[in-house]
Amino acid sequence: MIGEKKGKWLVLEEVKVIQNRASVFKHFLCECECKKQKIVRADMLRNGRSSQCEDCRKKERYIDIESYVGKQFGEWIVIKTVDKNIKKYRSLLCQCSCGFEQIIFASRLKLGKTKSCHPCNVTKRGDQIISAI
When divided into structural domains, the chain yields a total of 2
Q: CB 117: neighbour CB atoms within 10 A?
A: 20
Residue 133 belongs to some domain of the structure:
no
Contact present, 30 and 71 (Cβ < 8 Å): no
- Dihedral of CA atoms 63, 67, 69, 72 in degrees, nearest 10, equals -80
Same domain membership, residue 94 and residue 54: no
Range of the domain at 103: 65-125
pLDDT of the residue at 66:
86
- Residue 131 has what pLDDT? 46
Predicted confidence pLDDT, tens digits, the chain (133 residues): 899 999 999 999 999 887 776 667 889 999 999 999 999 999 999 998 999 999 988 887 777 888 899 999 999 999 999 876 666 678 899 999 999 999 998 888 887 889 999 888 776 655 554 444 4
Say which residues have a Cβ less than 8 Å from residue 40's Cβ, sequence separation at least 6. 9, 27, 28, 30, 50
**106 lies in some domain:** yes
pLDDT of residue 84: 66
Q: Both 51 and 92 in a single domain?
A: no
- Residue 40 covered by a domain: yes
88 and 43 part of one domain: no
